[in-house]
């Protein structure tokens, strides 16, 4: 039997371990290798990742070899483009460089104009990559607004129009509210025509994400529930009617987590490894963590943690106010994260008000997050919207039960504990302080029944959140599209 080959170019604005700002980085760093690993005797997935060559990556990888240059002609301007190559768990990674990617600029800045130039350039340069590499692509797979224009522009490139069959276009949707507004001038400068899809509202026709969505063959939100939610005004960000017009092209696929990084049995950041058969290590992790942050080790007191970007999406305000509401109950809490200064201050105020119960760390500290996933009992995640969410998957893997809002990926991955004491976490419906507090109380009450609690922990720990199943769904999607 001959082996068939499917060539996929995967575009992202971040990918762990090269550069990671949020969940997209986790996904783009682990999904492509997981897809590559599904190659077998009958099909080989030649998947390759392209990233902008940011200053931070240059510092990390100073000795990368350049594999070539080409001039990018677009809208009457020419930008000299350079390609550098590296590998990630067996797959080729291309770093794209050119003047719009400035050495000292942050990956995502507050300057929309600079970001637009950078990502429009990157998207267009990626479209030249197959020709430069003399590598025919079957699938162009973009992620979020930063690379959506590659999807929009593909059909305008003569080389793809003439190639038969024309590559299929997929866009994975991690964060709909960020659409790339403010890119209008860059689009004009780079000579990119607006979208002309009549289902797109007029305002959306010159914004990169909707432009890409309009010409995608498949739109993949990162969970089934989120795929439904974006059809409604509450979550559709003004594109709900457009999404309805595309409903047969929308297909939710949940993210996985990287089991080589997130495993309490092997995690190098925790001193006492453990697994679902022996939880002794977990209790030691808890004691060590309490000691580290200067909270008293009190028996029979649940430790609640929140690890999050401090912003509205994540419901950090709900978390803080609900803890305040139940201040007379037995619990301790550690909050880790940074972002919106109002929320940072509110968290700090909570520690000041309840110094014997609460510790707040306003920072991004990956190693500490590992110790918190391991040492805590309850993981608080009251997100207002959550396309997928990775922290709840990690926390369950570590036997730390989530208290989370029943939305998007949270709803799809957490089984609400029922009256028989079966489940993997505690869900609540409304994004209100009251509901959050009620769910927290439910979890605290459940924690007091130690034996039942332990069986819940074990159940959460054995759920399969690996990439394998989701990567397989992407492979099936690729195959279906090109057949
Ligand atoms: C975004 C979403 C989050 C998702 C992540 C990876 O950060 O907000 O829910 O898990 O992307 O897809």
* Residue-level pLDDT at 432: 98
Probe residue for ligand 1, chosen from 390, 411, 467, 470 as the CB with the greatest number of ligand atoms within 8 Å: 390
pLDDT of residue 112: 86
| Mean pLDDT in residue range 423-437 | 98
Residue 239's φ and ψ, nearest 5 degrees, are: -105, 10
Range 106-111 average pLDDT? 90
pLDDT tens for each residue of 141-155:
999 999 999 999 998
Indicate whether 413 pLDDT > 80.
Answer: yes
Tell me what the pLDDT averaged over the chain comes to.
96
Q: How far apart are CA 40 and CA 43, in angstroms?
A: 5
- Cα 403 to chain centroid, rounded: 19
d(CA 30, ligand 1 centre) in Å: 14
Q: What pLDDT does residue 1 have?
A: 65
Strands 77-88 and 66-74, how do they pair? antiparallel
Task: Calculate mean pLDDT across residues 342-370.
Answer: 97
Tell me the best of 21, 171, 174 to mutate to test the pocket of ligand 1, counting ligand atoms within 8 Å of each CB and taking the most.
174
Question: pLDDT band at residue 113, thresholds of 50, 70 and 90?
Answer: confident
Largest CA distance in the chain: 70
Ligand 1 midpoint to CA 411 (Å): 14
Cβ distance 91 to 47 under 8 Å?
Answer: yes
pLDDT in tens, 168-177: 999 999 999 9
pLDDT-based confidence at residue 164 (cuts at 50, 70, 90)? confident
Q: Is the pLDDT of residue 445 over 80?
A: yes
Q: What is the DSSP letter of 289?
A: H
Instruction: Dig out the tokens for 293 from the structure.
Output: 């942050």
Q: Quick check: 33 and 48 in contact, CB under 8 A?
A: no
- Would you say residue 161 has pLDDT above 80? no
Q: Give per-residue pLDDT as tens, 391-405.
A: 999 999 999 999 999
* Centroid of ligand 1 to alpha carbon of 420 (angstroms): 32
Q: How far is it, in rounded angstroms, from Cα 430 to Cα 437?
A: 11
Quick one: which atom of ligand 1 is closest to the CA of 409? 9
Atom 12 of ligand 1: nearest residue by CA position: 174
**Closest ligand 1 atom to Cα of 222:** 12
Closest residue by Cα to atom 6, ligand 1, is: 23
The alpha carbon of 255 and the centre of ligand 1 are apart by a number of angstroms equal to 9
Say if residue 157's pLDDT is above 90: no
Q: Which of 56-60, 238-242, 259-263 has the lowest mean pLDDT?
A: 259-263
Q: Ligand 1 atom 5: the closest Cα is on which residue?
A: 23
* Angle 425-262-11 from CA coordinates, rounded to 5°: 105
Tell me how far apart the alpha carbons of residues 388 and 475 are, in angstroms, rounded to a whole number: 19
Q: What is the reported pLDDT for 141?
A: 98
The answer to whether 333 and 305 are in contact (CB under 8 A) is yes
Radius of gyration of the chain (CA): 23
Q: Residue 26 C-alpha to ligand 1 middle, in angstroms?
A: 9
pLDDT tens-digit readout, 65-89: 899 999 999 998 999 999 999 999 9
DSSP single-letter state for residue 28: H
For residue 93, pLDDT beyond 70: yes
Share of the chain above pLDDT 70, in %: 99
Can you tell me which residue has the tokens 């689009």? 187
* Residues near 137 by beta carbon (within 8 Å), at least 6 away in sequence: 7, 8, 9, 130, 167
Please list the residues that pair with 94 across neighbouring strands.
Answer: 50, 85
Cα separation of 143 and 128, whole Å? 18
Pocket around ligand 1: residues whose beta carbon is below 6 Å from it? Answer: 22-24, 27, 174-175, 222, 255, 386-390, 409
Q: What distance lies between CA 222 and its chain's CA centroid?
A: 8
């Amino acid at each position: 039997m001959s082996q068939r080959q499917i060539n996929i170019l995967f575009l992202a604005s971040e990918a762990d371990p090269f550069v990671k700002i949020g969940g997209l980085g986790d996904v783009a760093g682990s999904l492509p290798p997981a897809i590559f690993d599904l190659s077998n005797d009958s099909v080989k997935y030649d998947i390759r990742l392209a990233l902008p060559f940011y200053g931070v990556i240059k510092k990390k990888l100073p000795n990368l070899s350049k594999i070539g240059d080409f001039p990018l002609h677009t809208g009457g301007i020419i930008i000299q483009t350079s390609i550098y190559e590296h590998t990630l768990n067996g797959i080729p990674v291309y770093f794209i460089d050119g003047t719009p990617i400035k050495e000292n600029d942050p990956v995502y800045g507050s300057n929309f104009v600079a970001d637009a130039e950078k990502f429009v350039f990157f998207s267009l340069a990626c479209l030249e990559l197959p020709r430069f590499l003399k590598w025919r692509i079957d699938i162009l797979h973009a992620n979020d607004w930063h690379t959506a224009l590659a999807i929009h522009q593909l059909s305008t490139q003569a080389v793809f129009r003439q190639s038969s069959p024309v590559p299929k276009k997929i866009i994975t949707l991690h964060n709909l509210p960020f659409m790339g507004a403010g890119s209008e001038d860059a689009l004009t400068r780079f000579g990119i025509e607006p979208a002309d899809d009549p289902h797109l509202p007029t305002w959306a026709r010159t914004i990169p994400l909707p432009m890409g969505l309009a010409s995608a063959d498949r739109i993949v939100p990162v969970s089934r529930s989120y795929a439904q939610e974006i059809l409604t005004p509450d979550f559709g960000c003004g594109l709900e009617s457009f999404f309805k017009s595309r409903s047969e092209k929308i297909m939710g696929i949940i993210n996985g987590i990287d089991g080589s990084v997130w495993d309490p049995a092997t995690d190098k950041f925790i001193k006492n490894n453990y697994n679902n058969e022996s939880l002794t290590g977990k209790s030691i992790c808890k004691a060590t963590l309490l000691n580290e942050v200067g909270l008293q080790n009190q028996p029979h007191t649940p430790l609640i943690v929140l690890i999050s970007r401090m912003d509205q999406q994540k419901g950090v305000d709900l978390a803080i106010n609900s803890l305040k509401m139940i201040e007379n109950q037995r619990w301790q809490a550690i909050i880790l994260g940074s972002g919106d200064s109002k929320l940072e201050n509110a968290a700090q105020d909570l520690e000041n008000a309840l110094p014997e119960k609460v510790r707040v760390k306003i920072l991004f500290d990956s190693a500490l997050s590992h110790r918190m996933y391991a040492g805590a009992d309850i993981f608080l995640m009251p997100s207002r919207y959550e396309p997928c969410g990775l922290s709840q998957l990690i926390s369950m893997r570590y036997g730390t039960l989530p208290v989370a809002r029943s939305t998007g990926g949270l709803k799809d991955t957490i089984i609400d504990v029922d009256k028989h004491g079966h489940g993997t976490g505690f869900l609540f419906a409304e994004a209100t302080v009251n509901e959050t507090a009620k769910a927290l109380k439910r979890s605290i009450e459940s924690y007091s029944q130690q034996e039942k609690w332990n069986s819940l922990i074990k159940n959460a720990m054995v759920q399969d959140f690996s990439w394998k199943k989701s990567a397989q769904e992407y492979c099936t999607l690729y195959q279906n599209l090109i057949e």
